[in-house]
Amino acid sequence: MDHGKDWDKTARRHETGASVRGVKICIHRGSNQIGGSCVEVEHGGQRIILDFGLPLDAESNDKNLLPAIKGLDGSDPSLLGIFISHMHLDHMGLLKHISPRVKVGMGVASRRIMDAALPFLPDKFPSAPTGWDFQPWQPIQVGPFTITPHLVDHSAYDAYAFLLEADGKRVFYTGDFRAHGRKASIFQRMLNKPLKNIDALLMEGSSLGRLAPDQRFPTEQEIEEQLVRAFAGTKGLAMVHASSQNIDRIVSIMRAAKRSGRVLLIDLYTAVVLAATDNVNIPQSHWQEVALFVPHSQRVKIQKKKWFDTLKKHSSNRVFIEMISQNPEKFTLLFRPLYIHDLNRANCLQDAAYIYSQWEGYWERGDYDKVKEWLGENGITKQSIHTSGHASPADLQDFVKAMSPGKVVPIHSFLPDQYASLFPNVEAHQDGEWWAV
């Protein structure tokens, strides 16, 4: 991808914008797609960036995917910093390519989880940068900008929306949010006590085209009930394929496993991610309802990287494959593909169940073709029990009605053209277009 021409266009727009009084915004990526979100905001010649994501369709985390923004190498003091709404790669993955001189703001727990995940995911995850640590609803002053992070309900832990204030203007950027997770009360609070005098609402619309306007996604509590029924109907090992960073889902799986008389098995990566939340209400490896099951590939890495202290920290409830083989019906495995080798050797798949609990797009585009082949070889049928990390169209409508913004700007949606039929005061902008609030 050649950014030369794009850089020239953006530079010219930036120079023009700098000479105009007021707050100006450019959506560099995200005006007509889900993922890769990146928004630049300028006032008085000073700039900040909201999110810095890797596109969902990117085959690798390549430096050529960087948006044409001046100062990512740390050479331009007018770039004051980057603010990350949450730690999904499509919102922060390109941090891997910026200079450490560029300050980055993010949630305290998000920074800890990034640190914990990096040794296990070095090819995907950036290292946790230095910068501002968010506290929910506590304003941060950066140059002419006041940024207030608002905690939201999302499938990523420690996720935020941003209220941005400058020159008397108020912009609200939702990041990714929903109304049906385990923090749904936060969304309801936003409806009951909405922010006032919002000039521009940059609102995600991931669910548009997926649900009818009057439909809503299942709640996380309903997912728990579906899992209880699935576990009850499983005579052998229950396997749930879910992200180790979807903390809400892990809570649902553990609660369903406990209600079904099963112990939740997690790997070392999941154990360190859960510990990094630093939340006593989140399942941990030492809980009696949870046990550590380290797959062979992770044992090799532990030996090679000398992660013995980390392993010891999470080994109080460690189980081995022989124990699982003897009584598979007593366990629910938080499945990751790296377990396939161990499960093949253990001969413990009789009457096993596989439950897929992630975005179906990964399955459809072939990310898990090897898992699909393995299931076929073992005669195991895929079940799907999942709910979205994003607000339904009906919830988005409720949100816009409560906020009553001056204009609604589409972002993080494949169908920005549908906004006008659902919301008032829609003002769409293209990637790379500078516009005034």
Instruction: Based on the fold, state whether residues 378 and 398 are members of the same structural domain.
Output: no
291 close to 262: Cβ distance less than 8 angstroms: no
- In sign, the C-alpha dihedral spanning 346, 358, 251, 256 is negative
Instruction: Based on the fold, state whether residues 293 and 150 are members of the same structural domain.
Output: no
Instruction: Based on the fold, state whether residues 108 and 33 are members of the same structural domain.
Output: yes
Instruction: Based on the fold, state whether residues 133 and 230 are members of the same structural domain.
Output: no
| Total tally of structural domains belonging to the chain | 2
CB-based burial, 228-239: b 16+ in 10 Å, e otherwise: bebbeebebbbb
Domain end: 384, 402, 426, which one?
A: 384
Instruction: Based on the fold, state whether residues 241 and 331 are members of the same structural domain.
Output: yes
Instruction: Based on the fold, state whether residues 290 and 170 are members of the same structural domain.
Output: no
Instruction: Based on the fold, state whether residues 53 and 169 are members of the same structural domain.
Output: yes
Instruction: Based on the fold, state whether residues 328 and 419 are members of the same structural domain.
Output: no
Instruction: Based on the fold, state whether residues 177 and 296 are members of the same structural domain.
Output: no
What pTM did the predictor assign?
A: 0.92
Cα–Cα distance for residue pair 51/60, rounded to 1 Å: 18
Cα–Cα distance for residue pair 180/196, rounded to 1 Å: 24
> In terms of residue numbers, what domain contains 12?
4-212+390-436
Domain end: 343, 361, 384, which one?
A: 384
Instruction: Based on the fold, state whether residues 309 and 364 are members of the same structural domain.
Output: yes
Instruction: Based on the fold, state whether residues 15 and 155 are members of the same structural domain.
Output: yes
CATH number at residue 327: 3.40.50.10710
CATH number at residue 103: 3.60.15.10
What would the two tokens of residue 219 be? 């709640």
Cα–Cα distance for residue pair 147/419, rounded to 1 Å: 26
User: Can you give the pLDDT of all 437 residues of the chain as single tens digits?
Assistant: 333 334 334 434 444 444 446 999 999 999 999 999 999 999 999 999 999 999 988 888 989 999 999 999 999 999 999 999 999 999 999 999 999 999 999 999 999 999 999 999 877 778 878 999 999 999 999 999 999 999 999 999 999 999 999 999 999 999 999 999 999 999 999 999 999 999 999 999 999 999 988 899 999 999 999 999 999 999 999 999 999 999 999 999 999 999 999 999 999 999 999 999 999 999 999 999 999 999 999 999 999 999 999 999 999 999 999 999 999 999 999 999 999 999 999 989 999 999 999 999 999 999 999 999 999 999 999 999 999 999 999 999 999 999 999 999 999 999 999 999 999 999 999 999 999 99
Instruction: Based on the fold, state whether residues 366 and 397 are members of the same structural domain.
Output: no
